[in-house]
C-alpha cells in the first residue's frame, strides 16, 4: 500500500498566507531546476482552499521567475465528476487561479474527465483517465501535491473505503462522504510512484489528521498516512494545522 519508508520533512509557517507564499516559491524552484536540466516537469495538482491560495501565489510570483509554462505537464490527483463548466471542479478552480494566467501547452494539461465528456459513467471515465496516464504519465510525476481532509482523506481516498485496497491507476468513487458523490481518484499505488509528494494543510481543523498521519496511523483510518514520495515527502503546515503534533 505504501512506498518505501522514509522520514518526511515537516515545514511549518505561521499562517495560511505565509504557507501559500512559501509553497508557491518552492514549486517554482522545482520547475526552474527541472527545466534547467532540460526536463519537462510533471506536476499533479490538488484542490481546496489552501491549494487555491497557492495557485494564486504561483501566478503572482511567476512573473519574476525563469519558468516556461509551455514546458510544464499538469495533472490532478482527483476530480469531482460534474460537468466541465462546473466551478466545483478542481481543474476549474486551478484554471481561475493559475492556469488562465500563464501560457500553457494545452496538450500537456491532463484534466480528469467531466461528467459531460461523453463517457457512459464515472467508471468509464476513470478507465479513460487511467489510459491517459499510461500513455503520457512517464511512469510517475516529479511532484504530487495533496491536501488533507479533517478525516485524513487524500485525493478522494476516504477512510474505510474499498478504493484503498485496489491496485489500479485511477478509480471511480460513487458514494463520497463529501458532495458531490461521484468522483475520480488516483489510488495508493499511483500516488506512491512519484518523485516527491507534498502534503499541504492549513487550519486547526486539520491538526488531528496531520498528527495521526505523521504518527504512523493505519492508512485505512487515515489515508494520508499511506502516501510517500519515492525521493522526498514534505508536509507543509501552518501553526494551526501543526498544533497537535
Angle of helix 49-61 relative to helix 90-97, nearest 10 degrees, comes to: 30
Q: How far apart are CA 238 and CA 182, in angstroms?
A: 31
Strands 9-13 and 232-238: parallel
53: left (phi over 0), alpha (psi -120 to 50) or beta: alpha
Angle of helix 16-36 relative to helix 49-61, nearest 10 degrees, comes to: 50
Enter the pTM of the model: 0.96
C-alpha cell at position 192: 506512491
Q: What pLDDT score does 150 carry?
A: 98
Q: What is the pLDDT of residues 171-215, one digit of tens each?
A: 999 999 999 999 999 999 999 999 999 999 999 999 999 999 999
Q: What pLDDT score does 3 carry?
A: 42
Q: How far apart are CA 116 and CA 82, in angstroms?
A: 7
* CB neighbour list of residue 190: distance below 8 Å, 6 or more residues apart: 133, 168, 169, 170
Domain 9-238: state its class: alpha beta
Q: What pLDDT score does 2 carry?
A: 42
Asked if residues 48 and 97 have their Cβ atoms less than 8 Å apart, the reply is no
Q: What pLDDT score does 1 carry?
A: 41
Q: What pLDDT score does 73 carry?
A: 98
Chain-centroid distance of CA 244 in Å reads: 23
Instruction: Report CA-CA distances (Å) from 95 to 58, 59, 106, 129, 180.
Output: 12, 11, 12, 19, 20
Q: Which segments in the chain show pLDDT lower than 70?
A: 1-5
Q: What pLDDT score does 188 carry?
A: 98
Q: What is the DSSP track for 29-80?
A: HHHHHHHHTT---EEEE--SHHHHHHHHHHHHHGGGS---GGG-EEEESEEE
Instruction: Report CA-CA distances (Å) from 191 to 144, 180, 194.
Output: 7, 22, 6
Instruction: Report CA-CA distances (Å) from 40 to 2, 172, 226.
Output: 26, 29, 27
Amino acid at each position: 500500500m505504501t512506498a518505501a519508508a522514509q522520514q518526511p520533512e515537516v515545514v511549518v509557517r505561521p499562517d495560511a498566507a505565509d504557507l501559500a507564499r512559501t509553497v508557491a516559491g518552492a514549486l517554482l524552484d522545482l520547475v526552474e531546476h527541472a527545466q534547467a536540466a532540460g526536463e519537462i516537469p510533471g506536476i499533479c495538482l490538488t484542490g481546496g482552499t489552501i491549494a487555491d491560495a497557492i495557485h494564486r501565489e504561483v501566478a503572482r510570483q511567476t512573473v519574476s521567475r525563469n519558468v516556461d509554462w509551455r514546458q510544464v505537464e499538469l495533472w490532478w490527483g482527483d476530480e469531482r465528476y460534474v460537468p466541465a463548466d462546473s466551478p466545483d471542479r478542481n481543474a476549474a478552480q486551478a484554471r481561475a487561479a493559475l492556469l488562465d494566467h500563464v501560457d500553457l501547452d494545452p496538450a500537456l494539461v491532463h484534466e480528469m474527465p467531466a461528467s459531460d465528456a461523453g463517457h457512459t459513467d464515472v467508471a468509464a471515465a476513470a478507465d479513460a483517465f487511467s489510459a491517459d496516464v499510461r500513455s503520457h504519465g512517464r511512469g510517475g510525476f516529479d511532484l504530487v501535491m495533496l491536501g488533507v481532509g479533517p478525516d485524513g482523506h487524500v485525493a478522494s481516498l476516504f477512510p474505510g473505503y474499498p478504493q484503498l485496497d485496489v491496485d489500479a491507476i485511477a478509480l471511480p468513487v460513487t458514494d463520497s462522504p463529501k458532495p458531490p458523490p461521484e468522483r475520480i481518484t488516483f489510488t495508493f499505488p499511483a500516488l506512491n510512484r512519484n518523485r516527491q509528494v507534498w502534503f499541504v494543510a492549513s487550519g486547526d481543523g486539520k491538526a488531528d489528521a496531520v498528527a495521526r498521519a505523521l504518527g504512523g496511523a493505519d492508512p485505512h483510518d487515515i489515508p494520508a498516512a499511506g502516501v510517500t514520495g519515492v525521493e522526498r515527502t514534505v508536509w507543509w503546515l501552518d501553526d494551526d494545522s501543526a498544533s497537535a503534533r
